[in-house]
């Protein structure tokens, strides 16, 4: 029913995974919030978006906003996709 694709491997746990767009994922690995493309025709591009202490994230795809909760603080990004 669904196809599986190997995207990448990290030494730590991957958490809070969301579809950023149809071709990118946004997720937390360790203390970093990362964005990764899923197109595996060539080498994958993975970008560090931000670094927080033990972040928990929620991606609001309808408003293109990222919510980050860390150390009893809630942060809200600027609109990430225009």
pLDDT of 62? 92
Pick 49 or 80 by higher pLDDT: 49
What is the pLDDT of the chain when averaged over all its residues?
89
pLDDT of 16? 95
pLDDT category at 66 given cuts 50, 70, 90 is very high
d(CA 67, CA 56): 8
Read off the tokens for 21: 């767009």
- Provide DSSP, 1-44: ----------SS-EEEEEEEETTEEEEEETTEEEEEE---SSPP
pTM: 0.85
pLDDT of 42? 76
d(CA 68, CA 54): 10
Pick 33 or 23 by higher pLDDT: 33
């Amino acid at each position: 029913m669904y196809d599986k694709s190997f995207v990448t491997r990290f030494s730590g746990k991957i958490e809070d995974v969301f579809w950023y767009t149809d071709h990118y994922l946004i997720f937390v690995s360790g203390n970093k919030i990362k964005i990764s493309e899923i197109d595996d025709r060539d080498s994958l591009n993975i970008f560090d978006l931000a670094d927080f202490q033990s972040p928990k994230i929620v991606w609001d795809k309808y408003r293109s906003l990222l919510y980050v909760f860390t150390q009893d603080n809630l942060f809200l990004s600027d609109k990430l996709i225009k």
